[in-house]
Chain A
Amino acid sequence: MKAKRDLQFDAIVIGGGIAGLQSALDLGDQGYTVAVVDKDATIGGKMIRLSKVFPTLDCASCITTPKMSSAAHHENITLFTYCTLNNLDRQTPDKVVAQLIQEARYVDPEKCIGCRKCEYGCPVYVEDDEQGGFNMRKAIYIPFSNAIPQIPLLDVENCSLCGKCAKVCPTDAIRYDMKPEEFSITAKTAVLATGFELSSMEQKPQYGLDRLQNVVSSMQMERLLAPHGPYNRVLRPSDGKEPDSIAYVQCAGSRDESLGIPYCSRVCCMYAIKQAMLLSGALPLADITIYYMDIRAFGKGYEQFYQNAKAMGIEFVKAKVAKITQGENQTAKLRYEDQEGNGGVMEREHDLVILSLGIVPQWDPEGICSVGCGQDGFIKSIMPKIAPTVTNIDGVYTAGVAAGPKDIVDTITEAGAAAMEASNYMKSLA
């Protein structure tokens, strides 16, 4: 058996989303060698999957791809994608060790040139989560067009082993018998930038448990609005109708003790307003309504963004939506208590309803790493006011949404802070 590889770096960054990439770039630029580990087959995290970002309305790709690309080409940064983290802990003051598994892509990364001939040749279609489940990819596929690395992976569970991909591959890169490989990375310091998941649509039975037509999650809506989206335009998923009436249900997964998510997820107000603005650009005739408890537009330029949205004619209704049911003609019917006007219980039907889901941690360190977490499951800072990235493990830091909900601006800033702590930790060893 081949000896397990052990690789040495100055720093290891867990998570290749925007937080991890920014930390890696800030460390790499200071001359430290950095390993970036991601469980996904591509770096870029949640941000690369978004359409445009508030409050500048830049396309998310315009900001993320250059950072992805800088990291990929950085002389001090090495990317490890499609890896599972089995263990990470500090062993000595100058040694933190990560035990990893390189999962099998079934494609030889050294040989593959990313031409996607395999993908076009593959005869099996599989529902594509990257596109909100609204269309299908192949059983061998590159996750999305600006993925890094541009290497496909084979979804074995949906592969018929027909051999077509191997046949069309010009560089003989398909390896049907590839096996996962264990390896380890030893570094002096680590940054945990493990990011978030959206809260589950099924958590709130009153909102239809994901079974109602045309009730979608905010991330699915990002895909509908994205340039590489499933329909290349906004359509109602039940039948392809261009929606006339669209509604947002705010705090659908936040500020709700019954969901176990009592906290505010910080970004949902702003992403809903942003999506509403994009929608009113794409569908100028559509009515757009946002049902909300409080609008939390607190960042730089955010309040002005909110006021612009109001001026554009987006309707804000202060109300907590109690229930969603199927309405006539594939609409979704909202039942809510109106807190303005005359009050009382109201009902309204919309072609498309977006649940503004909240943010929950993506990674549970239990059994993998002794880093401390708060009751909410996010990684806990032991000096939350003046050194927010410091965790209970010496020389191990956290950044971005791994440490609690945050928007992209705050995430990128915090990633810089984590890099500062990490580099100063290394200086203190010398």
Chain B
Amino acid sequence: MSETKKDESGEARVGVYICHCGGNISDHVDVEKVAEAVKGIPGVVVSHTEMFMCSDPGQELIQKDIESGSINRVVVASCAPSLHETTFRGAISRADMNPYLYEHANIREQDSWVHHGDPATAKAITLVAAAISKSRGLEPLEPIRVDAANHTTVIGGGVAGLRAAVDLAKSGLKVALIEKTPFLGGNASQLDKVFPTGEKAADLIAYLTSAVIKDPNISVYTCAEITGFEGYIGNFNITVSSKAPQGDMLHQVQAATAGKFQPFGGFLPKGIPETDTEETLTTGVIVFATGFKLYEPRTGEFGYGDNKEVVTLRQFIRIMDEAVPGTGTMKIDGRPIRRIAMIHCVGSRQIPGIHEADADDYMNEYCSRTCCTATLQAALEIRDKYPKTQVLDYYRDIRTYGHNQEDYYTQASEKNVLFFRYEPEDSPVITKTVGEFPLKVSVIDKLTFNEEVEAGVDLVVLATGMEAKSITNLVEMMKLPVGSDKFLQEVHPKLRPVEMANGGILLAGTCQAPMDINESCNAAQAAAAKAAAKAAAMLGKGYVELDPFVAKVDPEKCKGSGECITECPEKAISMTADNIAEVNPALCTGCGMCVAVCSVNGIDIQGWGLKAYEDMVDAIVKF
């Protein structure tokens, strides 16, 4: 298509497209009125509304107007730009116009979702008018190209990390797998059998670790942490510090055999560091697989800490593994366990006003997903191995949602596991007793119409939930988004479920949310697929494309004061030999600090210049 027809740099002819968002916007904003109102703004040549601008017919509307030559600037008023800015830029590119001659007005999150009626419509008109004003001054831009490294880094050697490393290596990429402890296998190493297949967790870990160890594309760094980080997608530089294990850790290593799986420890790869070392890696994509930590009940919570007969499910799994089978009644250290109480939702599904918040006023409001089935699995194992040991199960809702998991619930009922349903405000109370049983569980049981039920027990097992692991160092160093549940936050759970907002940093497994092994492996493979796609795109072209919204120096105006260099938080600006500031566009995040300090207006952000803001403010004042 000829340049003259679109005439990108000539007088602005703006096309305005307003989305109903299927009622999300149009239920509150009179979109027709907005379309009508902005028609009179200088430069506007077309103004349309559409049920879904992001749909094919919506995008084609834009393309047709570009291709017919009637417009050379595009304004779409719809949802947040984080969702669909790239969608519309893509449509514009397909019509062979520069995709940066585009401005987005957010009239959903910033308008129809928070305002109603006439004020919502009035605000939409203002926002669209501002976007139109800005669009008139836009210049065609080219994305920034930077070199890309054929290397990926996986942080965390649990199931998700191992899975991701195997897949990345198979797809032809070099992988550094970084694990903090000496062992591979993560939390899964603490399990015996996994639901619903009954496979040994050790076998699953062995399958993955042997693939990792065999693959020449994977370098395993155990006892290692990331202590330095800089750069951008395609070109991250990370410092990996390995430390020789000491103290407890050293004992665990000495107790294990290199190249073998240590029960309830993990797989110990060969080559545990004997001295402290540091290495810098250049890597293109980083996959986070840092996993979770188990909730630690507070002292006194369901009697935990005050009574040795109160244990967590994880502790119990180990106890059961070590217990002598086949006596009819379970015995721990010779003590007969005639009756066990299992309590669900410990440290999960906490409700403000009912549960106790921590010092930061935080609590785990989410469901940990895996504990219901894991608890029933343990309950069934008790009933199978020790038919004379009774199991009492205290739950809020039984969430055996996954493949073949409902069977555990049905079987538990068939095998006489006794269920009690409690409301969070009437949680079971554990008290010490003297007499037949060491502990007593009291609960108001919803299944028997609020009857108060008391039962003496020999053991209480708490099904503790998953918590986000504290990885504050990494989060701060890499500026990662964290959700209100403290887990790492994806861009969007459906649009981009395994990506973080930071370009080139991906998510795998329970660092994102509670998941079981199968779900973690799916997430890890999905992350690996994304990484492979990014790598394919980068390596195919040999470069990564970044958005061009970065600072640019006007050499005519720059006086070489160096103020911008001091202010730049990314260290993206340097001074040339001619004493003129120069920006490294790959490092620049377009934050604008430099623009604010330059006394001669010699530096500006491409696509978001000072003039653009002035134009927008003028329009806002006018409308």
Contacts and interface: CB of A to CB of B under 8 A. Distances in A.
The answer to whether any beta carbons of A and B sit under 8 Å apart in the complex is yes
A427 interface: yes
B146 interface: no
Interface in B15-51: 20-24, 51
Interface residues of A, number: 75
Interface stretch (A122-130, A361-369, A382-390): A382-390
Interface string B462-497: 000000000000000000000001010000111101
A220 to B, nearest CB: 18
Nearest to A430: B172
Interface stretch (A67-75, A92-100, A158-166): A67-75
A138 B399 CA distance: 44
Contact of B57 (A145, A228, A266, A339): A145
A146 B52 contact: yes
A150 B526 contact: no
Nearest to B19: A62
A62 B54 contact: yes
A404 to B, nearest CB: 5
Contacts of A266: 401-402
Contacts of B170: 424, 427-428
Contacts of B523: 413, 417
A66 B523 CA distance: 22
A214 interface: no
Interface-centre pick from B207, B492, B497, B525 (highest chain A CB count, 10 A): B525
Given A296-B401, A417-B525, A62 B369 contact: no
Contacts of B194: 385
A424 B171 contact: yes
B79 A62 contact: yes
Contacts of A416: 497-498, 522, 525-527, 529-530
Interface-centre pick from A294, A299, A300, A412 (highest chain B CB count, 10 A): A300
Contacts of A31: 536, 540
B56 A146 contact: yes
Contact of B51 (A114, A228, A415, A421): A228
B197 A384 contact: yes
Contacts, number: 226
A304 interface: yes
A393 interface: no
Contacts of A299: 367, 369, 513
B366 interface: yes
Contacts of A63: 492, 494-495
Contacts of A342: 449
A420 B521 contact: no
Interface in B434-470: 446-447, 449-450
Interface-centre pick from B20, B366, B537 (highest chain A CB count, 10 A): B366
B400 interface: yes
Given A29-B537, A30-B532, A63-B495, A388 B54 contact: no
Interface string A204-232: 00000000000000000000001110000
Interface stretch (A52-60, A101-109, A241-249): A52-60
A297 B367 contact: yes
A416 B58 CA distance: 27
Contacts of B367: 297-299, 302-303
A301 B163 CA distance: 25
Nearest to B512: A300
Contact of A58 (B204, B401, B494): B494
B449 A62 contact: no
Interface residues of B, number: 85
B548 to A, nearest CB: 22
Interface in B217-257: none
B147 interface: no
Contacts of A387: 521, 525
Contacts of A61: 22, 52, 54-55
A62 B528 contact: no
Contacts of A313: none
Interface in A182-206: none
Interface stretch (B121-129, B134-142, B327-335, B403-411): B403-411
Interface-centre pick from B94, B196, B399, B485 (highest chain A CB count, 10 A): B399
B518 interface: yes
B279 interface: no
B529 A417 contact: yes
Contacts of B51: 145-146, 227-228
B397 A56 contact: no
A69 B529 contact: no
A380 B400 CA distance: 19
A389 B525 contact: yes
B144 to A, nearest CB: 20
Interface in A389-427: 389, 404, 408-410, 412-417, 419-421, 423-424, 427
B165 to A, nearest CB: 12
Nearest to A415: B526
A413 B509 CA distance: 11
Interface in B348-371: 348-349, 351, 365-367, 369
Contacts of A428: 170
B171 A423 contact: yes
A416 B527 CA distance: 7
Contact of B518 (A55, A297, A388): A388
B199 interface: yes
Interface stretch (B83-91, B311-319, B598-606): B83-91
A412 B490 CA distance: 13
A420 B529 contact: yes
A145 B426 CA distance: 51
B519 interface: yes
A56 B523 CA distance: 20
Interface-centre pick from A296, A417, A427 (highest chain B CB count, 10 A): A417
Given A302-B367, A413-B498, A340 B56 contact: no
A409 B57 contact: no
B167 interface: yes
Given A318-B421, A413-B519, A416-B526, 9 more contacts: A145-B57, A296-B399, A298-B369, A299-B367, A299-B369, A339-B446, A386-B521, A412-B497, A416-B498
8 contacts: A29-B533, A266-B402, A389-B522, A408-B494, A416-B530, A417-B529, A420-B529, A424-B170
The 5 closest A-B pairs by CB, nearest first: A416-B526, A227-B22, A417-B525, A29-B533, A294-B397
